Amino acid sequence: MTHLTAFDKTKILLESVPWLRKYSGKKVVIKYGGNAMTSPELQRAFAEDVTFLHTWGVQPIVVHGGGPQINEMLGRLGLDAPFKGGLRVTTPEVMEVVRMVLQGKVQRELVSLLNLDSIAAVGLSGEDARLFQAKRRLGVVGGEAVDIGQVGDITGVNPAPVCDLLKSNRIPVISSVALDQDSPTDVLNVNADAAAAALAVAVEAQKLIMLTDVEGVYEDFEDKSSLISHMNLTKLKELMPSLASGMIPKMDAAAQALEGGVNRVHIIDGRQPHSMLLEVFTNQGVGTMITRDSNE
């Protein structure tokens, strides 16, 4: 941004006005993860973006994971948590670490950054007020179902605590864990993308923004010139079988959000500072926008 002239900055501000007017008072769920969580520069840029949205009347809701931080802490403690079928095996000991890192480190750091210039951010866990409920799932390895411990799929959302905070002009920051619907004293590790999508549907959000470690969705991942700037849900479903395995859970979540009533899903590069504002408030955008149909 430092190379921009005053005229360039004025053009950007004017370009953002229609978008700010359109989304003022509207809920926007943001899934925060990837490299944006581990770089101090990107953490600050993300906090600035969320604060900007909130200042101009948008109602941001942040849902976060913490895979890199969890891996680091497990290594320091010497705990083994292998992946089976793409899912982390979560023993009770590993679940303790997951809760500690998500709620005691990742969330606290983000809330502190957001509150540098305001007192708006409030941390919540998926456990609080039964915000997220989930059912245990099995992993699949070689066509065989395997037990992966305290891992679940979201089955229910209680949006009341989030909506209460929004009414008080707060910014909810939510850790992606859930209560076990069949054993309410147990907590399950859930996919943060799926949690964000389920929450976006429950609060009737206008947008779901998902930060990733790639520029967006590619027609062909090996061809970086094939980035798709806009597609509809039908096109997304056509692409799903050919997507890289790491993108499939995100795109499943995107599809669920759109089918549940969310108007738009944005897949953006969390490695680029302020990519969220560039995608949402400029005509060109920087990532992939997915809508329910081609007319949106």
Q: Give the per-residue pLDDT at 155.
A: 97
Q: Give the per-residue pLDDT at 190.
A: 95
pLDDT in tens, 191-238: 999 999 999 999 999 999 999 888 888 887 777 788 898 999 999 999
Q: Give the per-residue pLDDT at 23.
A: 86
**Which of 20-34, 148-162, 238-252 tops mean pLDDT?**
148-162
Q: What is the pTM of this model?
A: 0.91
Residue of 9 and 288 predicted with greater confidence: 288
Over pLDDT 90: what percentage of the chain? 55
pLDDT in tens, 165-197: 999 999 999 999 999 999 989 999 999 999 999
- Asked whether the predicted pLDDT for residue 2 surpasses 70, the reply is no
pLDDT in tens, 109-138: 999 999 998 889 999 999 999 999 999 998
The 3 state secondary structure assigned to the chain is CCCCCHHHHHHHHHHHHHHHHHHCCCEEEEEECHHHHCCHHHHHHHHHHHHHHHHCCCEEEEEECCHHHHHHHHHHHCCCCCEECCEECECHHHHHHHHHHHHHHHHHHHHHHHCCCCCCEEEEECCHHHCEEEEEEEEEECCEEEEEEEEEEEEEECCHHHHHHHHCCCEEEEECEEEECCEEEEEEEECHHHHHHHHHHHCCCCEEEEEECCCCEECCCCCHHHEECEEEHHHHHHHHHHCCCCCHHHHHHHHHHHHCCCCEEEEEECCCCCHHHHHHHCCCCCCEEEECCCCC
- Asked whether the predicted pLDDT for residue 1 surpasses 60, the reply is no
Measured from the Cβ of residue 169, the count of other Cβ atoms closer than 10 Å reads 12
Task: Enumerate residues 6+ apart whose C-beta is below 8 A from 142.
Answer: none
- Asked whether the predicted pLDDT for residue 68 surpasses 90, the reply is no
Q: Give the per-residue pLDDT at 88.
A: 83
Residue of 175 and 4 predicted with greater confidence: 175
Half-sphere exposure of 276 (CA within 13 A, CB side): 28
